[in-house]
Amino acid sequence: MIKKTSTNDNQDALVTIITPYYNAGKYFEQTFNSVINQTFPWFEWIIINDGSTDVEDIRILNFFSEKDKRIRVISQKNCGLACARNTGFANATTDIIIPLDADDLISPQYVEYTYFGLLFHPDASWCYTSTVGFGADTYLWKYPWDTEKLKTYNFLTCTSAIRKKAWEEIGGYKVEKQSYYEDWRFWLDMLATHKKPVRLCGYLFWYRRLNRSMLSDINKDTDKMEFSRKIIEKAAENINCSIEAVEYPVSKTGYPFRQPQFLSLGDKYKIHKEKGKIRLLMLIPWMVMGGADKFNLQLVNGLNKDIYEIGIITTVPSDNDWHQQFELLTDEIFHLPDFLDPSCFADFVSYYIESRMIDILLISNSQAGYYMAPWLKSQFPNLLIIDYVHMEEWYWKAGGHARTSAVLGEIFYKTYVCNHATRENMICRLGRENTSIKTVHIGVDHKEFDRTKVEKGYLYELLKEEQSRPLILFPCRVCPQKRPFLMLEIADKMREIRNDILFVVIGDGEQLEELKTAIHNRSLENNVVCTGRCENMKSCYRDAFLTLICSLKEGLSLTAYESCSMGVPVISSDAGGQKDLIDHTVGALIPLRQNEAEQYDYRSFDETEIDEYVSSISEFLNNSDKYKTCSSNCRKRIESEFSLEKMIANMEQEIMEALKETRTVPYKPVTSGIYGELYTMFNLLEMKEAECAEQWNSRCYFNNLLQAEQKRTDDVVAEKERMEIEKNRIYADLQSIKNMRLYCLLEWYGRFVGKNPLGMWLWKLMRKILHKTES
């Protein structure tokens, strides 16, 4: 975790935080810690003591205000919240001001996010984030911008980064004879003078909900509420409803031909590292559940914090479900899509490298990171850049990240891969120099994934199954790469051999719903179940008989490591680097009979390949001695070759050796435009891909509408045809009834005329005519 440093001179401040304080000592320590631990240390903090009367609350304020030279306390007689905030704004020395109440909190990155949110939008007047409500009520508040809605409903909070000039132009917070909705009116006044906001993604503001507060007092008092309502209604009359907010994340860049620009705040705006520490910056795509992401998390967790200070920057829009796990290890986490246009990503990274004085840049699976690396190297010639590649993907951009790494090989001091197969492919097929690429296997925490420390029964209880039933685990992201529909073919054949066997799909993904439908259509509900995501994987492995991996492509899957560590044999496709870990001594390796590049997401599978999976599973079910031996070998192999401790030790050794060498590539600043253009072209390509995706989605949407309309038309035509048939049937029935009446009449006539020759001739003639009418 990078140590925060205070600035001794408030003239260095770029942002001012203002906090009204009235007998607010109860929660102030938490607010104090949230401010002091900001990743952006160049701020001043003005606390307005608004006539506090409680001795203990005054003591608390004095105690904490003396702890940091950036804090300045201004005391005044009690005049209310709006007046106190105006005092703070008037005394601020910076252009950007953040109001923060004395019991609320801001996440460590709040000031840095909002500062750059306004820096890159000079025409915007304020910048805000989503909110976490906590205390008496808990919730997540993420409301899209709606100017019309703000006239009748305040979805904004008081805490935002506001330009002082905007505050001056609207005359500040309006002071009334009593408390009212001061914040709401302030935002309406901003809109009335055509002020535009920036809405950042991310829950960075924490709003404390109390059973007793100024807002709740107003809402509980009819007179106060009516007083406030009239003020808001009058203010809402003047707002400009055409004002749109800049909202993040954006689906594509708004500046496709903008070249990256080196962003420096100046020499005095640097966070000095502790003596002897190494600064490592990781560029990764996101923080979500997955093997590559687990490697990132384990690496950050495992590196010695007495030696390393770690920052992490992500480059792909995401909910970042694992953010909290990373945040336990470092505050220096920045999700660029949450507050920047893609064309500005490289600018911020250059600022971060300079301000944190980064020693090493590690790129892992970030396509944007790869394409900005040459430009970064041109700006920081002595920066050590390394990357970690998990696998080559021929079905995606002719090799995926492995191809990009190989093409840009001269930029990197060294590339690390997680298996030998990827290394060989990068050398032989992608042309990477063999001395600059090395295999460092991913490891697993064998102390955590230890079957002796995990009780049996979790998965059986979750599935409501008897423990005598053998479970085959299929843990993965349900997508074409993992071939879930091959798993169905295997399960279908296995139920003919052992109908009690149960395949358990653990994970989610884009094909999960389609897989569930296929399970139902094939009547496999008794043999295949889907549980969705599970955070307790070690308990799942504990109950599993085998783990099945039939992927089309893998680096070396984390599930294989975890399963072996838990003593569960693995039956895997011979994909990627699986052979580094899986062989006949720990399970079975099945030859891959599907072409990765040409047959991606095929649903027709080689019968021989299916039979080999079925045969291997059956062998383990029928041969208990082999099973026990493989189970024991699984654990031994992890402990001896693939432990997490070994992975961390190898990575630390590689980093230390790299730092000892003086190898640098002689890039000259004059060529930086070429490398900047490379990143510009990458952004243009990403934009065009986003546009293609939009067009494809639109096409699918309109095709669905067209098909629905065609179906309605077909139904109408079919209904008309049915009605015509029904009409003809009814007509035929009526004609039959009519003919029947004629028959009856003729029979009566025949009996009446008797043997009269003329009458009989006429009767026979009429019968012939009637027969012709019927035919």
* Gap between the Cα atoms of 552 and 418, Å rounded: 17
What pLDDT score was predicted for residue 761? 66
What angle, rounded to 10 degrees, do the helices at 512-521 and 484-497 form?
A: 30
CA angle in degrees (0–180, nearest 5) for 227-228-230: 70
Which letter does DSSP use for residue 393 in this model? B
**Strand blocks (E) in 336-470:** 360-364, 384-389, 414-417, 437-439
* Gap between the Cα atoms of 492 and 486, Å rounded: 10
* Gap between the Cα atoms of 642 and 340, Å rounded: 39
Q: Is the Cβ–Cβ distance between 346 and 372 less than 8 Å?
A: yes
Q: Is the Cβ–Cβ distance between 96 and 161 less than 8 Å?
A: yes
CATH 3.40.50.2000 spans which residues of the chain? 278-443+675-684, 458-642
* Gap between the Cα atoms of 471 and 544, Å rounded: 5
Query: What distances in angstroms separate CA 281 from CA 2, 20, 310, 314, one per listed residue?
Result: 11, 37, 6, 11
Q: Is the Cβ–Cβ distance between 563 and 544 less than 8 Å?
A: yes
Place of tokens 């027709």: 604
HSE-up of residue 100 (Cα within 13 Å, Cβ side):
30
**The model's pTM:** 0.84
| Rounded mean pLDDT for each run of 10 residues along the chain, 775 residues in total | 46 94 96 98 98 97 96 96 96 98 97 98 97 94 93 94 98 89 94 96 94 67 80 89 93 89 94 89 93 92 95 96 95 97 96 96 96 93 94 89 90 94 95 94 95 96 95 95 96 95 95 96 96 93 98 93 97 96 97 88 94 97 96 97 95 91 48 61 76 77 78 80 79 66 59 60 64 54
Architecture of the 278-443+675-684 domain: 3-Layer(aba) Sandwich (3.40)
Query: For residue range 719-774, what is the model confidence (pLDDT) as tens digits?
Result: 888 888 877 877 776 666 666 656 665 565 555 555 566 666 666 666 666 555 55
Place of tokens 């955070």: 535
Q: Is the Cβ–Cβ distance between 178 and 227 less than 8 Å?
A: yes
Please state, as a whole number, how many other Cβ atoms lie within 10 Å of the Cβ of residue 646: 17
Residue 660's nearest CA partner among 362, 374, 359, 354 is: 359
Name the strand (E) or helix (H) holding 98.
strand 96-99
* Gap between the Cα atoms of 732 and 754, Å rounded: 33
Q: What is the DSSP string of 491-511?
A: HHHHHHH-TT-EEEEE---TT
User: Mean pLDDT for the chain?
Assistant: 89
What pLDDT score was predicted for residue 750? 59
Please state, as a whole number, how many other Cβ atoms lie within 10 Å of the Cβ of residue 696: 10
Q: Is the Cβ–Cβ distance between 161 and 126 less than 8 Å?
A: yes
* Gap between the Cα atoms of 251 and 599, Å rounded: 30
Tell me the CATH number for domain 10-247.
3.90.550.10
Please state, as a whole number, how many other Cβ atoms lie within 10 Å of the Cβ of residue 119: 19
Structure tokens given for 64? 């904490």
What angle, rounded to 10 degrees, do the helices at 624-641 and 607-622 form?
A: 100
HSE-up of residue 535 (Cα within 13 Å, Cβ side):
4
Give just the sign of the alpha carbon dihedral 497, 500, 506, 511: positive
Structure tokens given for 399? 């090799």
Please state, as a whole number, how many other Cβ atoms lie within 10 Å of the Cβ of residue 164: 16
What pLDDT score was predicted for residue 11? 66
What pLDDT score was predicted for residue 669? 41
**In the chain, what is the straight-line distance between the N-terminal and C-terminal CA atoms, in Å?**
98
Structure tokens given for 488? 């169905």
Please state, as a whole number, how many other Cβ atoms lie within 10 Å of the Cβ of residue 313: 22
* Gap between the Cα atoms of 632 and 639, Å rounded: 11
Structure tokens given for 36? 């002091």
* Gap between the Cα atoms of 420 and 426, Å rounded: 10
What pLDDT score was predicted for residue 8? 43
Contacts of 562 (CB under 8 A, 6+ apart): 444, 449, 537, 538, 541
Place of tokens 């492509």: 553
Give the distance from CA 431 to its chain's centroid. 33
568-575 long-range Cβ contacts below 8 angstroms, 24+ apart: 568/473, 568/541, 568/544, 568/631, 568/634, 569/620, 569/627, 569/630, 569/631, 569/634, 570/546, 570/634, 571/546, 571/547, 571/613, 571/616, 571/617, 571/620, 572/548, 573/483, 573/549, 575/551
Residue type, 486: L
Q: CATH top-level class for 458-642?
A: alpha beta
3-state secondary structure of 706: helix
Q: Is the Cβ–Cβ distance between 256 and 343 less than 8 Å?
A: yes
Q: Is the Cβ–Cβ distance between 463 and 503 less than 8 Å?
A: no
At 599, phi and psi to the nearest 5?
-120, 35
Please state, as a whole number, how many other Cβ atoms lie within 10 Å of the Cβ of residue 541: 24
Place of tokens 């749109």: 244
Q: Is the Cβ–Cβ distance between 362 and 389 less than 8 Å?
A: no
What angle, rounded to 10 degrees, do the helices at 222-236 and 182-192 form?
A: 10
CATH 3.90.550.10 spans which residues of the chain? 10-247
Q: Residue 85 forms beta bridges with which residues?
A: none
Residue 554's nearest CA partner among 519, 589, 586 is: 589
Place of tokens 């099973």: 627
391-398 long-range Cβ contacts below 8 angstroms, 24+ apart: 391/418, 391/419, 391/422, 391/553, 391/554, 391/555, 391/576, 391/577, 392/422, 392/425, 392/426, 392/429, 392/430, 392/576, 393/553, 393/596, 394/553, 394/596, 394/597, 395/552, 395/553, 395/596, 395/597, 395/600
Query: What distances in angstroms separate CA 300 from CA 292, 311, 454, 645, 655, one per listed residue?
Result: 13, 9, 26, 13, 14
Query: For residue range 68-88, what is the model confidence (pLDDT) as tens digits?
Result: 999 999 999 999 999 999 999
Radius of gyration of the chain (CA): 36
Strand 126-135 relative to strand 139-141: parallel, antiparallel, unpaired?
antiparallel
